[in-house]
Structure formats: structure tokens, C-alpha cells
Structure 1
Amino acid sequence: MTQTIEQHTRVPETSAGVRLDQAAAELFPDFSRSRLQAWIKAGALRVNGAAARPRDKLLGGEALSLCAQLQQQGDWEAQDMALDVVYEDAELLVVNKPANLVVHPAAGNRSGTLLNALLHRVPALTELPRAGIVHRLDKDTTGLMVVAKSLPAHTSLVAQLQARSVSREYEAVVQGALTGGGNVEAPIGRHPKQRKKMAVVAGGKAAVTHYRVLERFAGHTHVRLRLETGRTHQIRVHMAHIGYPLVGDATYGGRLRLPKQASAVLTECLRDFPRQALHAAGLGLQHPASGELLHWRAPRPDDFERLLAVLHSG
């Protein structure tokens, strides 16, 4: 079964001198570079209305138009798994993702993912890029995710994310006592030596995180964060970059910091917290069909609540 997908965008001036296939991979992030290269060669992805080659260099400002037949995506398996569905209609599905759940199948995780569960609930998602998933949460980050159920909804959500008009609010517990809120504006890219990690690097993708203090403890802070951009591991990288890594973050957290005179209960809780203390608490966007502004909130999970309770008790 096939559907026609149609998307349009304009090449930013900052992409002058970049190959067409490289720019397309940035501007059409829901499709792999190899798929986009095939569409360019077939004339389905055109530059200012004309056919081009993947290696052609861009000047900046060109109009890119993609009109292609979208066939069933991947060989993913539908699985009957529990989903905490916060909202659903003909266009959208919003889920509250638990910890320890991978979003998308990959090497080593071909089953048991959120995508597998979504396909069981909505089999038609096989026809959409990445089964309608337009943004991700890390395996151990909890909270709200929106999934498109139709091609028009998918196109709209991708455009809203690119325009930074989707509201994404998080809560986290960080190591260290922050004196106040602030912003982190620092580019993120692959770590130059540890390729499985991200880092603040010159030449990385622009990334902006806003944070404010909700509550201070002796050696930790409960913060609320808002994303302008959605880079991989953005909050975790940015907070570690300014010296306040997330509690439980094995990748970016560094050594465990214990407050002076920490109780045995607090010490055990901090040492045993099984994941980064990060929760996607709020999500807001414009409904693709009605244009209505919608907002959802997800309560903090039990492990996060217990962490806060133990920090209160010292």
C-alpha cells in the first residue's frame, strides 16, 4: 500500500556550499539520507522545480519540493503492549512514556519498543515515516510524546517542530544548588572522541534550553526546563555543560555528589536512582486539522516523586 507524501521547504542561507543530499537530510529529518538520495535521483525531490543530483552544491535560498510515493516503512512487528494514552483522535495520539522503554527499533532492540506497541494499536502507522513518531525521548526519560496518525498530521507536526512552535516542558533534578534560572545557548554535536555521546562542540547544531528553579535542596535542585530546539540528549548535555548534571545520568553525570551530612536514606536513594531524573511533563501544539491549541500534562512518575520526598527529608 502506498501514499503520496508532499513537503516543501527552503534552503537556509547558512547551507550555502552544502551538498543537496546533506541539506535534504537536515531539512527532511523524517527520512534517511539514502532514501532522500534515491528520491533526488528519481526526480521526486527537486530544486526550484528542477531535477538535480545528490552531490550538487546549494547556494542558499533554493526551494526544495518533495513529492514521492511512500510505501510501507520497515519490517517492524506489531506487539500487544500496554500504552498510557493521554489523548487520541483521528490525527494524533499522545502517550505518557514510562522509563526503560526504547522509542524506535534499532540494532539490539528490534522488539519491545514504543513503535511496536503503536503499530498494534494503529496498524496504519506502517505507512507513515517512522510510524508517525516525530520526536523522541531517551529510553529512561519519562513523559509526553505526540505521534501523527495521518500524513497531513505528520507534515504539520514536523513543520511545527522545525518552527519551534511546539511547547515542550520538562522537570529534572540536577546535582548542585542552582542560585537561579537562566538559559543555555550552546551548539550540540557528536562528541569528538566518544561517538555514542553528544557534547557542546563548535560547529554543532544550534541548541537552546531555558531553565528555572522550582526548589533548592542542600546539594540538589529541582528545575523546570523548556526546549526551543530538540537535539539528541539536549537537556542532559546542556545541564552537564554548565556544571549541574542530572541525577542518575550515567552518561553525562560524572561522579556521584553527596550533600554534606546526607542521611543514609538519601545516600542510598541517590546511589540507586536507576536513570536520569528527567520527565517530559508538558506538551503543547496546534492541532493539525482544527488549528486548536492543545496542551497536555503528565504527572511525575513514582520514582521521581520518591526522589523529591527523600531530598525533602534530607
Structure 2
Amino acid sequence: MDKKNFLVEGEDTLLSFLLAHVAGKSRNSVKSMLTRGQVQVEGRTVTRHDHPLAPGQTVTLLPQGAGDGKAPFPVLYEDGRILVIDKPAGLLSMASDREKVRTAYRMATDYVRKSDPRRRIFIVHRLDRDTSGVLLFAKDEETKRAYQDNWDRLVTRRGYLAVVEGKPSRESDTVRTLLRENAAHKVYSVRSGGKEAVTHYTTLRAGKEYTLLEVDIATGRKNQIRAHLSELGCPVAGDKDYGAAADPLGRLCLHAHVLELADPFTGEPRTFRAPEPKGFRSLASGKAEGGDRR
């Protein structure tokens, strides 16, 4: 569907107007378009069904996933409520005491303000600085709360790709431990007093030095994948904090490649995928392509 503009000729409410002008869509479909933020009035996203319309206004219907392609990072999906990006490795999700400017949050804010200087971005979840991949932001506080307050219920899968040194003793397995963070901010497994962390992994490709794993997490503890794989004797390549011997691609070889969850307003299942970084697969085959920091 292409972007469509409709001129308001008389007083009306938004849902009533859309039902009269959008052909081939059921009432529920039109409501879903509103909920997803695909409808703008005078260039501003509106989601209320009863929003009043006045003669001379323009109502715009955006295609699902519309974006202007001018972001400083790959945009995986965008509508009036959310922005989903492929975060580069080495970029903080949000500001820290040491870095307040060069963050995914700041760059995403600058991006949405190109079309409207009043727009804001809200953090929904985070990725570690050195982990690349799928990162979701909300465009309004209501959406942020809807995702964050129901995150564990909404999310059905958080999948990662990891290139590790060596090869796990089992082709696939589940690691379940209690994790604790020490004063140096390093996470490690303990017998008691920690938070439960569950990590599932499956071997995708194994070479002589490195193995490519598909990793799914059932819990979202800080650095849990890095800690669990290191404790298996297979640290993530490039992860010197957790025992890696080398840095073959000039980055931590951990990538959040899929996020599956339900839309908190419609219940619609959503899947966002970030392409596998260059060099991951070839490294696990013994044919490394260096220098990739995506």
C-alpha cells in the first residue's frame, strides 16, 4: 500500500472518516491501522478513534513499516508508535555516566525529529554496548508503558547469533544458573543469592577454532549469554572480559537477530529480524573476514 492523503470536507471523527474513505478494509483492520500509528492528521500521528476532524484538514494513511530511509542505522520497522533498528556493535543503547551523546537513543531521537521537531523516543529495552541487533523504541509514553509493563508476557522469543571460541560439548543444550554481578560489574554464576538465568543454544556451524550458535534466552539478565557461554568453556569471540583469547572481527561476536512479541494493543504477533553480520558464518568455517563492526 502506498501513502494516501484524504481531504476532510466536513466535520467528522477520525474512525468514521476512515471507514468512509478507506476501501477494502474491515472496521477491525482500520482500527488496527490507528493503533499501529499508520494514521496522521495534518502530519501528526493520531491513534484516538474519536479524534475530531475539521473541514480543510488532511488525513494521511501510511503504509505499514514506513520510514524515510535517512536514519544513521538500518531501520527494520517503523510506524507511528514504534521504531525498530539494527543497532551497531559498540553503540550504547542509552546514556551512561561516561557517554551521554553517542547513543542509539540520541541518534534515534535525532532521526524522528527530522520529520517533527517535537517528536520523542522512549527506551523499551536495551542491548549491551558491544552487542548488535534488534532494538525497539517507543514513540510515545503510552506505548512505552504498554510494552514495558507487559514485556515478559508479550515477548515470545529473543534470539541471538553468537560466534564462540572452541565448540560446546553438546550440539544443543540449556544452561540454567543463578547469576550475580560483582563490584567490577562482571556477571558470574553462583549457587545461591543470584537471579535465575536460562539460556538455550543450538550449534549452527562448527569450524576448527570457532562455532556459530543460535542462542535463545528465556530470561533477560545482564550479560547472561556471555557469562553462560564462557562458563561452558566457549567464550564469545572478541569477549576478552569473559575469557576470549582473540578478537578476530574487531567486535564482540554477539548479535540479537530476532525479536518476536505481541503488539500490546492489538495482540497481533510481530517478528523483527536483523541480518546476520558479515563474517559470522565464515569465521565459524575458518574463513574469517575481519574488521566488521556492524
- TM-score bracket, shorter-length normalisation: 0.5 to 0.7
**2:29 is matched with which residue?**
none
**1:285 is matched with which residue?**
261
1:185 has 2:176 as partner: yes
List per-residue Cα deviations over 1:62-119 (Å, max 9, x = no partner): xxxxxxxxxxxxxxxxxx9613111011221110011121111112211111111122
User: Which of 229, 249, 261 pairs up with 1:239?
Assistant: 229
C-alpha contact (below 8 Å) 1:188/1:234 kept by paired residues: yes
**1:294 is matched with which residue?**
270
C-alpha contact (below 8 Å) 1:247/1:253 kept by paired residues: no
Partners of 2:213 and 2:118 lie apart in 1 by 38
Query: When the two structures are aligned, how many residues end up with a matched partner?
Result: 216
Partners of 1:221 and 1:305 lie apart in 2 by 9
**2:220 is matched with which residue?**
230
Larger helix percent? 1
C-alpha contact (below 8 Å) 1:97/1:144 kept by paired residues: yes
Larger strand percent? 2
Higher-Rg structure is 2
**2:189 is matched with which residue?**
200
C-alpha contact (below 8 Å) 1:91/1:149 kept by paired residues: yes
Structure 2: any 5+ residue segments left out of the alignment? 1-69, 290-294
Two-structure CA RMSD over aligned residues (Å): 2.6
1:143 has 2:119 as partner: no
Q: Could you tell me which amino acid in structure 2 is paired with residue 163 of structure 1?
A: R
**2:145 is matched with which residue?**
155
Structure 1: any 5+ residue segments left out of the alignment? 1-79, 257-269
C-alpha contact (below 8 Å) 1:250/1:275 kept by paired residues: no
SS at match of 2:283: helix
C-alpha change, 1:136 and 1:125, in structure 2 (3 Å) is farther
C-alpha contact (below 8 Å) 1:125/1:132 kept by paired residues: no
Q: Which of 141-150 and 153-162 deviates more? A: 153-162
Partners of 1:114 and 1:234 lie apart in 2 by 22
**1:44 is matched with which residue?**
none
1:113 has 2:103 as partner: yes
C-alpha change, 1:166 and 1:148, in structure 2 (3 Å) is farther
User: Which of 205, 212, 234 pairs up with 1:215?
Assistant: 205
TM-score computed with the length of structure 2 as normaliser: 0.66
User: Which of 165, 183, 190 pairs up with 1:175?
Assistant: 165
Q: Could you tell me which amino acid in structure 2 is paired with residue 175 of structure 1?
A: E
Offset, 1:172: 0.5
C-alpha change, 1:164 and 1:229, in structure 2 (3 Å) is farther
SS at match of 1:251: helix
Percent of matched pairs sharing the same residue: 32
Partners of 1:109 and 1:126 lie apart in 2 by 24
C-alpha contact (below 8 Å) 2:229/2:236 kept by paired residues: yes
Q: Could you tell me which amino acid in structure 2 is paired with residue 277 of structure 1?
A: C
Partners of 1:273 and 1:238 lie apart in 2 by 21
TM-score computed with the length of structure 1 as normaliser: 0.62
